[in-house]
Amino acid sequence: MTPFLGEADEPGSGPVAADVFAIGSDGLSVHESSFPARVAAFLRFSPVIEAAQAAHRRDWPEGIYDIVTLALTAIDLVVARQGFEFEATRQDVVDALSVLSGVAAPERPVGEHVDVAMFVVDALLNRSSGQAPFRYVTSDYSDYETGHRQREVPFSLLVEHDHASRDENVLRATKDAINALIGGLDFDVEDEQVATELVLERQLARNAFDAALKSAERARLLSVSLAEGLDRLLKQTRRDLRIVEEEWAATVPDSLEAARKHIRERLNTERHLLGKVREALVNGEAKLLTSGVRIAQLLEECQRRHESLHHRVIAARGVFLEEQERQAFRPPALVNLPDPQQEILLPVLELGSAEAGTLTERFLIDMAGPRSPRLPRLYRLINDLWMRSGGTAAGERGDDEAELADLPAPLIRAEVVDVAIRAVRSVGLPARLSRLLHACLNDAQAPSPHVRQQSAEVLNLAVLWAFSPEDADDEGGRMADDLMARILGTRTAVDTDGTPLQLPGWDGDDVIVAPNADALADANPVPISRKSA
């Protein structure tokens, strides 16, 4: 163990004792267990400071554009609209920052204002690193045994989300960004909000509207932060209940009950504070009107957020029960996931540019189709392949004639599914995918070669879904589940041993399809060879 820099041992003494160094009897708080969290909180500002430093290397005049203020303004704009119907998009934030840049430098060209705005937003999204979380390595001196170890601190400030109902991407601020905007450390949001409201009430009582405005803005940020934990829990519950199962069993019920009581108290307090604001506005001076109106708007926004959060808290237990029922009967995917770096990225990088380009293009076409979605999802691709156009052409009957219209044709014709079912029954499970596809393509009862080809494609999709089911709450996901169960069975298990598919016109692994996980463990059926195919 080495002594501190600048610290010398007494003559004849040995190295600094490990227990003295670790416990912190020297009076330094760096040895306290809370110190690493304080360092991590301080690091939230690092991306903004680094962006300000990087701006000096741009072709913009020195000292005109305040990157720090623009960055915090961007976070504030995203937070202000987060959780509402019209959440901020990247273009919304760029437009707002372009206006501010134009006010700061009206003599500069408009294109430069837009460039500054895009630079700030991209820095907060960490677009230079593919929107990956920011990562910093810090030193932790709080461990008694090791004395020193390195800790990695990953966090994000702004993240991009696919807003399905609006058919566009929106920006959302993380808890770390909200804490950075507040300017404090990690805190208990509920206690902090109660304290903020008490301070706000005292400020309103003495007509200190400027200070009260800051407290109201802080209360709004705390309201956004309060929803982050619940949203994370529900998202993880819908994705994989096993990840948060212990939380639901141990802490979530009490947390939901406490959240209901807290929200009810906050709504009552906010109504009381709104009354205080209106009373102060009536009896106050004219110069207080602007601050008072803004405080009232912020309190009304807090009310709307808490009412929305109250609905989500009440429905949370129902989400748990629905996901428990849905996920309990879905067999887990038995798949050995490849190492993305060692087994995918590095082999592709070793290829020539022409081969790598061809492989990448084929992969993108097969996975995303001719029109790439903003955030690709497998279940969404399957849904798009099955979906019929919902538009009403000229001369067709409208919604008012829906009751008189013919029933819509099924997305997949019955004879196509019947051929796939017959193929599975004739071959029997467990079986290789190649034999199932071969049975579809050679079904004598199929009305046409086109139907046989469609049946093989549908069967392949059903096997793919059983191999790696996706989380999907929409109609496409439920259709995929139903079709897979109808063709293969509800407990079907699929895995691969690396055997390539030898069927002409088909690529990929010749996976093994079994009726259940137990049958899959010992199954090793013979694949179809190119000659027999």
Percent of the chain with pLDDT over 90: 12
CA separation for the pair 184, 220 (Å, rounded): 15
CA separation for the pair 254, 248 (Å, rounded): 9
pLDDT digits (tens, 9 = 90+) for 172-181: 888 777 766 6
Q: What is the DSSP string of 144-211?
A: TTTS-EEEEEEE-SEEEEEETTTTEEEEEE-HHHHHHHHT-----HHHHHHHHHHHHHHHHHTT-HHH
pLDDT digits (tens, 9 = 90+) for 403-419: 444 444 446 788 889 99
CA separation for the pair 490, 530 (Å, rounded): 31
pLDDT digits (tens, 9 = 90+) for 50-87: 999 888 888 888 889 999 999 989 988 888 788 777 78
The residue count of the chain comes to 533
Average pLDDT, the chain: 75
- Which residue is associated with the tokens 């099955």? 386
pLDDT of residue 278: 76
Q: Sign (positive/negative) of CA torsion 306, 311, 317, 320? A: negative
Domain boundaries in the chain? 32-182, 189-328, 336-388+412-533
Alpha helices in 428-507 (DSSP H): 433-441, 449-467, 475-488
Q: Six-digit token pair at 332?
A: 């887990």
Under the banding of pLDDT at 50, 70 and 90, the label for residue 533 is low
Report the predicted TM-score, pTM, of the whole model to 2 decimal places.
0.41
Comparison of pLDDT for 531 and 104, the residue scoring more: 104
Is residue 194 pLDDT above 60, yes or no?
no
pLDDT of residue 219: 65
Per DSSP, 333 falls in state: P
Most confident of 103-112, 164-173, 231-240, 356-365: 103-112
| Strand (E) or helix (H) holding 495 | strand 493-495
pLDDT digits (tens, 9 = 90+) for 21-50: 334 445 466 776 667 877 887 888 888 889
